[in-house]
Structure 1
Amino acid sequence: MVSKKVTWGLLAAWVVHDLEELVTTARWTRRQPRVPTTTAPHAATAIGLVGVVVAAAAADGARTGGRSPFFQAVLTGFGLHSVTHVLGSAVFRGYTPGVVTAPVVVAPFSVWAIRQLRRAGIRVHPSPRALIWFPVTVGAAHAIARLVTRAADRPHSMPGQRP
């Protein structure tokens, strides 16, 4: 059995990391001509949707003592995600949203948590197919956020008025 710090720690580390992204993404994208602009409501919606998945994974990890393949895949994907932030900053030659917490929160937590699982005798080997769900989940969250925020931004006509 592993500590709840390992399983629920995933959610805590994700919150710290995604708070950085929430605070910086909209402003950063407005300054980048090569990146589609993301509004604050869009970022908040996408982050919230991914948060539901991370919370579900943490809960499943807690329920199974860290043995859940879903938890392990999300934990591993979260750790690998830190590399994308560092690479993104290298490509943009400067700050990108999430790059501060990626090497100081995301990567160290993920490595520590996987080590704790292994010390508890839990084999951690998520399938490559399971890891593919990480970009799919993030992409779907952004697609849904775009739909939701566009619908919210559409002017609503009053009864009797023409749209």
Structure 2
Amino acid sequence: MARKAVSGAVTWGLFAAWAVHDAEELATMARWARSARPRLQERFPGMPDGIRRRLDLPQRQVNIAIGLMGGVVAAASAAGARSGGRSPFFQTVLVGFGLHGAVHLAQFAACRGYTPGVVTAPLVVIPYTVRAVRHLAAAGVPVRGGRAAVTGLLLFPVAVAGVHGLARRIGRTGPAARPDR
């Protein structure tokens, strides 16, 4: 049985959808975190200090973290393109990206208002993910659905914490390390 080709719109579409989504986060995250911090502390008084400190996001750190995550998503897209969408790495990032969109909607509900990424989550992230999974299935590519979802759910917070931790470290030690507020 011949395999149907999976187009670059599906595999590289992950990177394109991520770029649109993260452009919103890039433009809004640092400013939103600064302005929302007092309101969130009042609404969630038991917020751990670690999370509270993470709401202090200099624009430089946001820029670096988004750039680092872009590298991960580009690598996943390339793996998807090379494997015709069969790469477990591509599928895990794809499904994780879609679940990430749902997290944005939950954050919006919990915060009772705008949170960075909530505009593009239902307009780009979730529709792209659903469409990509459907295209893979139509091409006869077995999607690791449940397994990829579990792996994505487990690895997403690790990836986000990792890129932000590395961005924080790079931001403090880089040649242009200064507060960008």
Structure 2 length normalisation: TM-score?
A: 0.81
Tell me which of 47, 64, 75 is aligned to 2:83: 64
SS in 2 for 1:32: helix
Contact 1:61 1:71 survives alignment (8 Å)? yes
**Number of residue-to-residue matches in the alignment:** 154
Q: What CA distance in whole angstroms lies between the structure 2 residues aligned with 1:129 and 1:96?
A: 25
Structure 1, unaligned runs of 5 or more: 155-163
Structure 2, unaligned runs of 5 or more: 42-51
Q: Deviations over 1:11-67 (max 9, x none)?
A: 000000000000000110110223522111100100111110000000000001101
CA drift of 1:151 comes to: 2.0
- Identity among equivalent positions (%) equals 54
When the two chains are superposed, the root-mean-square deviation of aligned CA atoms in Å is: 1.3
- Correspondences of 1:54-133 after superposition (within 5 Å): 54-125=73-144, 127=147, 128-129=150-151, 131-133=153-155
Q: What CA distance in whole angstroms lies between the structure 1 residues aligned with 2:67 and 2:161?
A: 13
CA drift of 1:70 comes to: 0.4
Contact 2:95 2:152 survives alignment (8 Å)? no
Matched letter for residue 109 of structure 1 = Y
The answer for the alignment partner of 1:157 in structure 2 is: none
Q: What CA distance in whole angstroms lies between the structure 2 residues aligned with 1:92 and 1:61?
A: 35
Q: What CA distance in whole angstroms lies between the structure 1 residues aligned with 2:151 and 2:84?
A: 23
SS in 1 for 2:36: coil
Q: What CA distance in whole angstroms lies between the structure 2 residues aligned with 1:39 and 1:89?
A: 22
Contact 2:92 2:151 survives alignment (8 Å)? no
Matched, 1:24 2:28: yes
CA drift of 1:129 comes to: 3.5
The answer for the alignment partner of 2:13 in structure 1 is: 9
Structure 1 length normalisation: TM-score?
A: 0.90
The answer for the alignment partner of 1:159 in structure 2 is: none
Q: What CA distance in whole angstroms lies between the structure 1 residues aligned with 2:151 and 2:26?
A: 28
Range 72-81 or range 26-35, more displaced: 26-35
Q: What CA distance in whole angstroms lies between the structure 2 residues aligned with 1:142 and 1:104?
A: 25
Q: 1:130 to 1:31 in 2, by over 3 A?
A: closer
